[in-house]
Amino acid sequence: MKRCAQITANIELSGGSDYEDGLLTKLIEIRRHMGLNFLLHGYFPPPPTGHFIMNFAETSGRTRAFIKEAAACIRTLEIPYYSVHSGFKKSFSLKKEILIDLPDKNTFTIEDIGQSISYFKSEYPDIRLALENLYPNPDRHCCFMIHIEEITEMLDRFPGIYLLLDLGHLNIASHLTGFDYAFAVELLFRQYTHRILELHLSENDGLTDRHRPIRSDSVQYDIVRQYAEMINEREINVVIETRNSDFGDVKECFLLMNGLLR
């Protein structure tokens, strides 16, 4: 976090970290002393025991308890909304970032997501909810909001939710399920821009979620440049989502995006 603070005062808290006692108190102090602004996404804060795949479509007490902790962080750190993966259609375990079917074969439907949305809006009416589009892993039917038609269906069916548009996920989904990437991007920006709260940017090969920094020759760089005015007007948060990247490359990516956006 200290290295990221060298280039920006805006940091998204997300998965990939272990449980740390007194984490929220530490974040309060970091925010106050370093002048940082936080967003909160997905699997955060990590639970003290029993790590699991957080599935927004699952309506179990374990999932609800996790969301309760996330909401407490959001309120305390004055974060404007909660963004989370849209959900999985089955029960999975995780092995080297690959989803593996569990033997219990639990399945979930869009009606289950509707229950979770209703629960969230009832329990946390002061917090906006943004669902993130996903991509096929390990098959084309593992997640919700993969195909562009599924994304727009979700937004149309639940007018009270917002979208975290992951352009990297959309790229993979377009390659593996056969829809036109440029058309999908234009559709979402032209017809649903008022529903987009956040963008995730990361480069990939169209097949796997590689989380590489964006460069000036990236299609996603061109997308941000094309829709920069909309992004600025709607105050859409733009997050560089990288993993195991050289800090210099991350800084270069930040400066590229900062040159496009105010």
Q: Residue 92: its pLDDT value, please?
A: 76
Q: Bigger pLDDT: 29 or 102?
A: 29
Please give the average per-residue pLDDT across 84-94, as a whole number: 86
Residue written as token pair 């560089």: 240
Q: Residue 78: its pLDDT value, please?
A: 96
Q: Name the pTM for this structure.
A: 0.95
Residue 198 is encoded by which pair of tokens?
């956040």
Residue 236 is encoded by which pair of tokens?
């859409």
Please name the amino acid found at residue 249: D
Other beta carbons less than 10 A from residue 50's beta carbon:
7
Confidence of residue 50 (pLDDT cuts 50, 70, 90): confident
Where helices occur in the chain by DSSP H, the ranges are: 23-34, 61-76, 110-123, 148-157, 167-177, 181-192, 219-226, 228-234, 247-260
Please give the average per-residue pLDDT across 108-129, as a whole number: 96
Q: Residue 91: its pLDDT value, please?
A: 79
As a whole number, the mean pLDDT across the chain is 93
Residue written as token pair 């940017």: 201
Contact 121, 159 (CB under 8 A): no
Q: CA angle, corner 202, sides to 200 and 203, nearest 5? A: 150
Torsion, CA 252, CA 254, CA 255, CA 256, rounded to 10: 90
Separation between Cα atoms, residue 226 and residue 187, nearest integer Å: 13
Peptide bond before residue 138 is cis, with ω within 30 degrees of 0: yes
Reported as half-sphere exposure (CB side, CA atoms, 13 A), residue 215 has a value of 6
Q: Residue 138: its pLDDT value, please?
A: 63
* In the chain, where the domains are located: 4-260
- pLDDT tens, position by position, 18-32: 889 999 999 999 999
- pLDDT tens, position by position, 128-140: 999 999 999 766 7
Q: Which of 40, 100, 29 is nearest to 66 (CA)?
A: 40
Q: Residue 102: its pLDDT value, please?
A: 72
- pLDDT tens, position by position, 147-175: 999 999 999 999 999 999 999 999 999 99
CATH architecture classification, 4-260: Alpha-Beta Barrel (3.20)
